[in-house]
Structure 1
Amino acid sequence: MLKTISFAIVHMTVAFGVGFVMTGDLLVGSTLALVEPLCNTVAYYFHEKVWKRLDSRRVHDSAVPA
C-alpha cells in the first residue's frame, strides 16, 4: 500500500504541473491534481491485485504435476 501512496503523490504532482502549465490556472491545476490521479491510483491498486493473482496462479500451475 505504501507503494500505491507514493505513486499517488508523484502522480498528483505531475498532474498539477501539467494542468497549471497548460492553463495557467491554479484551480484547474489543483482539480486535475486531485481527480485524475485519484482515479488512476484506484485503477492501479486493482491492476496490481489482478497481476498478483495471475502470478499466484502461474506459480501454482507450474508447481502442480501434470
Structure 2
Amino acid sequence: MSRDIIKTLTYLSVHLTVGFTVAYVMTGSLALAGGIALVEPCINAIAFWFHERAWKRFDAASANAGTRAIHALHPA
C-alpha cells in the first residue's frame, strides 16, 4: 500500500474520531455523534469540490490578467 493511501486513511480515522468525540461531548448521544461523524466528511468533500472549482477560476483569471499585462508592456 502506498504511503499516500496510508496517510489518507490515518487522517480519515483521526478526522472521524475527532468529529465523533466533539459531537458526542456536545450532544451526549452516541447515535447522533455517529451520524454527524459520518455525514460531516461527505458534506466537507462536496464543499471542497466547489472550493477547488473557485480556485481554478481564480487561477485562470489571474493567468489571463498576467498575459494581458505582459502584452500591454510588450506589444507584438
Distance 1:41 1:21 in 2: 24
Number of corresponding residues:
61
**Deviation of 1:37 (Å):** 2.6
What per-residue deviation string (whole Å, max 9, x for no partner) do you get for residues 5-62 of structure 1? x4x8254333211111122322111100112231122111211121122112201221
Q: Which has the higher contact order (CA 8 A, sep 6+)?
A: 1
Runs of 4+ in 1 over 3 A off after TM superposition: 10-13
CA distance in 2, matches of 1:50, 1:18: 30
Unaligned runs of 5+ in 1: none
Aligned residue for 1:23?
A: 27
1:52 and 1:23 mapped to 2: Cα distance? 38
TM-score by length of 2: 0.60
TM-score of the superposed pair, with normalisation by structure 1:
0.66
Tell me the equivalent position of 2:47.
Answer: 43
Larger Rg computed on CA atoms = 2
Identity of aligned residues (%): 43
- Gaps of at least 5 residues in structure 2 are none
